[in-house]
Structure 1
Amino acid sequence: MYNFYYDESEHSRIINLSTITGETYYDNFLVAIVGWKSDKEAEIKQKYLAFEEKYAERKKKGELKSDTFKSNQFKCGFASFNKQNIELLDELLEIIDNNIYIYFCIESKLEFIILQLFKDYHNNFFVDMDAIKYSIVKTVLTYHPDCVLQNIYSLPEVFVESLILFFKERIELNKRNPVLKASENEALSNILMVLQDVKPPQTLSWDYHIPFVGFDYYLKSKKINDYTLTIDKEGKEGEQSKTLLAAIEVGLMNCGELNSKNHFGLRIADMLAGIVGKLMKSLFHSLHNDSNNSVVSKTLLDKTWFKLNEKQLCLYKRLYHILLEINNDWYKIYAGNYSDDLICLLALLDYMNHFKSADEIQKDFDMHPEYCNACMCSRLEEHFNRIHNKLPVEPVVPETDEYFRDNKGAKIYFDVNKQPELVINEGHTKYLVLSVGFDKDCNPLATIASEPENKCFRLPEQLSEWAMTVIGMAKLGQNLFPSEVVFSRIKGRYYVDIL
């Protein structure tokens, strides 16, 4: 049995013009869920309550929560922390050990809006709408054009016109620094080629389900079936919140609500969500120029970010361990296509983690903003390249020591010699092919509709090029399967026709 606890940060989910143009607005909505085996609850509770008691003077309304850290205290990351905040955060992060399971969900509020506006635009063989939507969100968040933001709400019928006008102006401005802005101009030019009128959205109401969809994947990946999920209570007493209802609708079991005053687990989740959110927010503001600044230039972190003592560096290392090492899983951090702030944070943690000591940072100190920026840009480029890949990425969950099942239910053997070969007789043989792929040794495979269960077969090596071609098309968004396929063997050579 496992106990999980949910809280969130930056949770202004009323999406309208006043919220997204407000001074305190931050685009990302964060969810943190922490949990542990039930038999560990008493031990973790004892540690955490002792920690809270030590810092009782920092409680607000009887609770020690993430708002004990103010946003301006993250101005230059942990380098801005004073001795008291360093000690508090260090002791908090020390409690998070291998007994604790952690899940994060990060969503861009603007991406949610753009997805609603462009819901009728889909990927095809010629146009990658995922990449285009990503580029629209990134550009609007980077430059914050008031006319575009206002038209989303007040005049959605001319939203695309204002977007096109802004992109054209931006392309001309970027020409002042073609080396730095070549990739951005290419992306904006691609957007201009495909943008047409969009239909006004039916609703911009927030979707509460997404964090729980990711958490459901996380539980299944971890093979956790027996659990409870407690959500920090919001709204009127006696009424189920939209958050709780969303968790139930996703299919999560044993869900309930409590006030965070009544359970330490909710306060741990609040702390993690708040700290990560404030650090991401500070990174965002530090890496973006004033939107009214017409000068096209590179934006780097200030050197102050790297003026760290040993304890401040240790905070980065602890957070790295929590986010990227403890009970790691493919679904541990669940995010949308636009997740640049998250990617920059993870790159920063990775960059800081490779230093063995604060003294080592002093070597070549002036170059750290450039080096760290290169690390972030590399991660962002990798992410953007992954967006182009339309093939789903799913974890391999072994059913036995010999095989796992693909998403069609067919057995995939770890030893390819145990994988049956597809029978292709002289002449023509027709099968209903559900999917095509390769094993780890690059042998072509095809999953065939069969009874009582679908089966995966090895294909002749001669069909490797064909398999690579159809996979390449699927990667670009043109999935040809399931389809009836005629496999032919004529004079020892193999041919394929997709009907």
Structure 2
Amino acid sequence: MVTNCKYLIYIDEKGTQETIQALGNLKTPYDDRQKIELGTDKMKDFVAAAVLYEQVHAENIEQAYLKLEEQYKNTSQKYSNSDVELKGNHILKKNFKYGVADLNGPRLTFYNRLIDMLSRNQVKTHVFLVNKISLAVDKRFKNWLIKVCDRYDQIIYFNLAYSLIKYIELEASKEVIQALFNPNISNTRVLKFIHADIKKFVRKHTNSLNKRMLLQLNNYKQIIAIIDNYAMYLIDDKYAEQDRFITLDWKKAVFNMDLWLTELKLERKSATLHLDEGFKAEIFNDLHLNQIHADLDSKNFVGLRIADVLVVFIGNYISKLTYASMYDKDNPYKQKFLPSDFFNLTEEQFLFLKKLYAYLYLDGHTYSITNDLYFDSSLLFQTFLSYISEYNNYAQYRSVPSEEHPKRHLKEFAIIYKLKMKNAERDDHLIKSIFDGHGNAIKLGIARP
């Protein structure tokens, strides 16, 4: 496909499903850590990656990537002398439990050279994440949350929505999860399940002196009070006839991508967007680009293959970090650290992570990595990379005992977490004062949908 546009954009995604369902049916027994069916990608977040480069660099980029592909395939008995398209999942295989700490040999070389090539050719990357549990909360309760928060100044929308999502992600019972994802159960009834479940949790831990638990209990008590006082505003939408009940709202991804393109000051009418198989072009019309080509075969578009190997790598890394950091519901007072295995790095792995952090986060732009309202997974990935990058060299990094790295990382996570929460609350107050609430801000395209 030939294009005269100045800029070429390619998008691929991982973690999407036709519809998201709760575990616990005849085929999938319930698992309290996973809670929902995750599809073939096994990700608790939907992750999309876009790569952007100028047409003038396209030939160099595509030839360099094809060379990378060939070099990797030549190291594999399975892919050597094969014309099969190399996918990110082929490279990571199943040996990625502790991320880059499990990446070595040709697999590490491939990603090392990939980041070098992208940096050298000024390829811009945008990554967007949205938590799958949050999609169900949005579907059921977003309009209700906005209505309540816009009417009452003392209730902060971000805090309420975030706390509700976090409770469901971490603490919700099997009964709540299965009701939440069941279109035959009304919003009001689901809210009653949530109310009873949170009250049960608060009663169980009411005598706790643990600082983290006291903060958690305070948040949960606020949710209980809001349900007690404002449940009457909740509307029971009819979902039973919907084939796809809980699924991704692509407006979220498009909104964040629009922020990224605006920050880059991209000439929209000089850009062509290329979408992998399964995408619909009309989803991206609001970006106002010159051309949008959808449902393309990545065999014919190197840009799509670059997006694939990036999104598979980043999505899987985030997934591994997220699962490894989940706290034990049966022992909620125990502080949870990442396993030290994530930090057991060779010098080559260490230098690669520093390079990756610089490429993804130190490009001078705010919206290269974005998330929806619930940001824990993306922040975990960011702080993991930033923590590694704080060390000037490998000798300095190795001078710290391996069991100490997870503790130091958690301290960094806590600092940035508090800052993000503070900034989100500040933005919430600004939206109320300037736009008279989230409802108006969303209609005007100012706040995320």
- Structure 2 CA distance for aligned equivalents of residues 224 and 103 of structure 1: 14
Change (3 A) 1:9 1:42: same
Q: Does 1:14 align with 2:31?
A: no
Q: Is the CA contact (8 Å cut-off) linking 2:17 and 2:247 kept in structure 1?
A: no
Aligned to 2:171: 143
Aligned to 2:297: 259
Q: Does 1:170 align with 2:125?
A: no
Cα deviation for residue 74 of structure 1 reads 2.7
The residue correspondences of 1:66-465 to structure 2 (distance < 5 A) are 66-70=88-92, 72-97=94-119, 99-118=122-141, 119-122=143-146, 123=149, 124-154=152-182, 155-156=185-186, 157-174=188-205, 175-176=207-208, 178-195=210-227, 196=231, 198-201=234-237, 202=239, 204-225=246-267, 226-234=270-278, 241-242=279-280, 244-257=281-294, 258-291=296-329, 293-326=330-363, 328-365=364-401, 366-390=403-427
Change (3 A) 1:364 1:32: same
Aligned to 1:399: none
Which amino acid in structure 2 is aligned with residue 330 of structure 1?
T
Change (3 A) 1:5 1:289: same
Aligned to 2:442: none
Cα deviation for residue 209 of structure 1 reads 2.6
- Which of 1 and 2 has higher RCO (CA within 8 Å, sep 6+)? 2
- Structure 1 CA distance for aligned equivalents of residues 111 and 56 of structure 2: 26
Cα deviation for residue 151 of structure 1 reads 1.0
Cα deviation for residue 478 of structure 1 reads 4.0
Change (3 A) 1:200 1:363: farther
Which amino acid in structure 1 is aligned with residue 198 of structure 2?
F
- Structure 1 CA distance for aligned equivalents of residues 354 and 18 of structure 2: 32
- Partner of 1:79: helix, strand, or coil? helix
Q: Which has the larger displacement, 60-69 or 116-125?
A: 60-69
- Structure 1 CA distance for aligned equivalents of residues 128 and 115 of structure 2: 19
Q: Which has the larger displacement, 116-125 or 38-47?
A: 116-125
Q: Is the CA contact (8 Å cut-off) linking 2:88 and 2:313 kept in structure 1?
A: yes
Percent of aligned positions that are identical: 19
- Partner of 1:375: helix, strand, or coil? helix
Which amino acid in structure 2 is aligned with residue 222 of structure 1?
L
Larger Rg: 1
Q: RMSD of the TM alignment (CA)?
A: 2.5
Change (3 A) 1:71 1:107: farther
Higher helix share: 2
Deviations for 1:42-81, whole angstroms, at most 9, x for unmatched residues?
Answer: 1111110100011124659811111124475332221122
- Structure 1 CA distance for aligned equivalents of residues 68 and 435 of structure 2: 57
- Partner of 2:125: helix, strand, or coil? strand
Cα deviation for residue 294 of structure 1 reads 4.1
Aligned to 1:49: 66
Which amino acid in structure 2 is aligned with residue 248 of structure 1?
N
Deviations for 1:380-403, whole angstroms, at most 9, x for unmatched residues?
Answer: 221222221236xxxxxxxxxxxx
- Partner of 1:103: helix, strand, or coil? strand
- Structure 2 CA distance for aligned equivalents of residues 475 and 214 of structure 1: 19
Change (3 A) 1:481 1:388: closer
Deviations for 1:133-190, whole angstroms, at most 9, x for unmatched residues?
Answer: 1111112112352111111133333211221222123234444452232221111111
- Structure 1 CA distance for aligned equivalents of residues 105 and 435 of structure 2: 60
Q: Is the CA contact (8 Å cut-off) linking 2:43 and 2:315 kept in structure 1?
A: no
Deviations for 1:293-330, whole angstroms, at most 9, x for unmatched residues?
Answer: 2453110011222211111112211210121123x322
Higher strand share: 1
- Structure 1 CA distance for aligned equivalents of residues 17 and 316 of structure 2: 14
Which amino acid in structure 2 is aligned with residue 110 of structure 1?
I
Q: Is the CA contact (8 Å cut-off) linking 1:308 and 1:358 kept in structure 2?
A: no
Change (3 A) 1:283 1:138: same
- Partner of 1:199: helix, strand, or coil? coil
Q: Is the CA contact (8 Å cut-off) linking 1:306 and 1:361 kept in structure 2?
A: no
- Structure 2 CA distance for aligned equivalents of residues 361 and 323 of structure 1: 21
Q: Is the CA contact (8 Å cut-off) linking 2:50 and 2:125 kept in structure 1?
A: yes
- Partner of 1:330: helix, strand, or coil? coil
Which amino acid in structure 2 is aligned with residue 166 of structure 1?
D
Q: Which runs of 5+ in 2 are unaligned?
A: 1-5, 29-34, 240-244, 438-449
Q: How many residues align?
A: 391
Change (3 A) 1:221 1:370: same
Cα deviation for residue 22 of structure 1 reads 2.7
Cα deviation for residue 6 of structure 1 reads 0.7
- Structure 2 CA distance for aligned equivalents of residues 191 and 72 of structure 1: 40
- Partner of 2:108: helix, strand, or coil? helix
Deviations for 1:196-236, whole angstroms, at most 9, x for unmatched residues?
Answer: 264344553432232222222322222211111101122xx
Q: Is the CA contact (8 Å cut-off) linking 1:216 and 1:252 kept in structure 2?
A: no
- Structure 2 CA distance for aligned equivalents of residues 475 and 337 of structure 1: 16
- Partner of 1:390: helix, strand, or coil? helix
**TM-score, normalized by length of structure 1?**
0.73
Which amino acid in structure 2 is aligned with residue 324 of structure 1?
Y
Q: Is the CA contact (8 Å cut-off) linking 2:7 and 2:54 kept in structure 1?
A: yes
Q: Which runs of 5+ in 1 are unaligned?
A: 235-240, 392-473, 483-499
Q: Is the CA contact (8 Å cut-off) linking 1:71 and 1:278 kept in structure 2?
A: no
Q: Is the CA contact (8 Å cut-off) linking 2:136 and 2:181 kept in structure 1?
A: no
Change (3 A) 1:115 1:138: same
- Partner of 1:55: helix, strand, or coil? helix
Cα deviation for residue 23 of structure 1 reads 6.3
- Structure 2 CA distance for aligned equivalents of residues 216 and 128 of structure 1: 26
Cα deviation for residue 353 of structure 1 reads 0.6
Change (3 A) 1:86 1:162: same
Aligned to 1:39: 56
- Partner of 1:113: helix, strand, or coil? helix
- Structure 2 CA distance for aligned equivalents of residues 128 and 71 of structure 1: 44
- Partner of 2:13: helix, strand, or coil? strand
Change (3 A) 1:376 1:71: farther
Change (3 A) 1:72 1:191: farther
